[in-house]
Amino acid sequence: MKIITLHTPVDINELYNLLQQKLNPLFHERRQSDIDLAFERKGDAIEIYGPEIYEGFLFSITLNGAELWITRSEHYVDDVNSLTIESILNELFKDVAGDQGTDLVQEG
């Protein structure tokens, strides 16, 4: 799990909307792929799926106070699509955090 601290408060709905609006276009651009990602809100968590080619979630993002807890599916750790998504997520989280930025608290 990766834990990122956001120094600017974020609402789970705001984060969900941001992912819905930006993740697929950025993913299509970077991977030159027509794979569409799907998103599902589960309480204080957002799950990201690649339903066309993957079983189960690729990422689960949970908002815990000022922290984002990001779990990557163990089945797709070295998958190029998963790595691309993670890179985009890191950029989007920096955007959400604004000028204050983010801190990586833990990765493992």
> Which tens digit of pLDDT belongs to each residue from 22-62?
999 999 999 998 899 999 999 889 999 999 888 999 999 99
- Kindly state the tokens that stand for 46: 């957002």
Per-residue pLDDT at 103 = 60
Whole-model pTM: value is: 0.86
> Which tens digit of pLDDT belongs to each residue from 54-97?
899 999 999 988 888 999 988 887 789 889 999 999 888 877 76
**Domains identified in the chain, total number:** 1
Give the Cα-Cα-Cα angle 40, 49, 62 (nearest 5 degrees): 55
CA neighbours within 13 Å on the CB side: how many for 47? 12
Q: How far apart are CA 62 and CA 41, in angstroms?
A: 10
Is pLDDT at 108 greater than 60 in this prediction?
no
36: containing domain: 2-107
Dihedrals phi, psi of 101, to nearest 5 degrees: 75, -165
Per-residue pLDDT at 22 = 96
- Kindly state the tokens that stand for 19: 């992912």
